[in-house]
Every structure is written in C-alpha cells, then in structure tokens.
Amino acid sequence: MLHGEFKTPGGKLVQVDLEVCDGRLCHVQVTGDFFLEPEEALETIRSAIEGVPVAEATEDHLAWRIRQALARYGRPVEMLGFSPESIAQAVRRALP
C-alpha cells in the first residue's frame, strides 16, 4: 500500500492510499480533513484516479481528470480546503 499526503496551502490535508496493479493506479482511497458537498462526490473523485496508467499520472493530467469528472457530476460540487490540484499532488507523493 502506497501513501501520499499533501497539505493544501491555507487549507486542509489530503491523504491518498493506493496500489499499482499492472502499471495502473488501483485500490485508490482519497481522504482528509476537507469539506465536500455533496458527500457522494468523493466517489467521483476516487473513480477519476482509479485505473490511470502510472506513466500518465502527472499532476496536470490527474487534476484535469478530476475536474472533468466533477464537471459531469450533474450538480454543483463544493470543495472547501482542497482542490483537484492538491489531490493530484498527494497522488504524486504516493508514487515511488
């Protein structure tokens, strides 16, 4: 199990736990002391990271994928104390 943390400047701590399966990010868990409405959007964020090939898991690409997924969520999503970029940073730090 790999673990990465990123403290959002002026905001909250994002923690990511994941593994690498066949060169892709798998068993991803995104947690932290942030605020998110609606709560179900956490699964949308997680799914946007799950399955991404490690070779493509740059900070920009991960943040873009999370943004795209949230834009398609169907209702406005409020993130307080963290951002797609801070989640992407935590993922990067989890990777060797």
Residue type, 68: Q
Q: Which residue among 2, 20, 26, 42 contacts other proteins (CB under 8 A)?
A: 42
Is the distance from CB of 5 to CB of 15 less than 8 angstroms?
yes
Per CB under 8 A, does 32 bind other proteins? yes
Per CB under 8 A, does 36 bind other proteins? yes
Angle between helices 84-94 and 41-49 (to 10 degrees): 50
Beta carbon nearer to other proteins, 22 or 82: 82
Quote the least distance from Cβ 19 to other proteins, whole Å.
14
| Number of residues that this document lists for the chain | 96
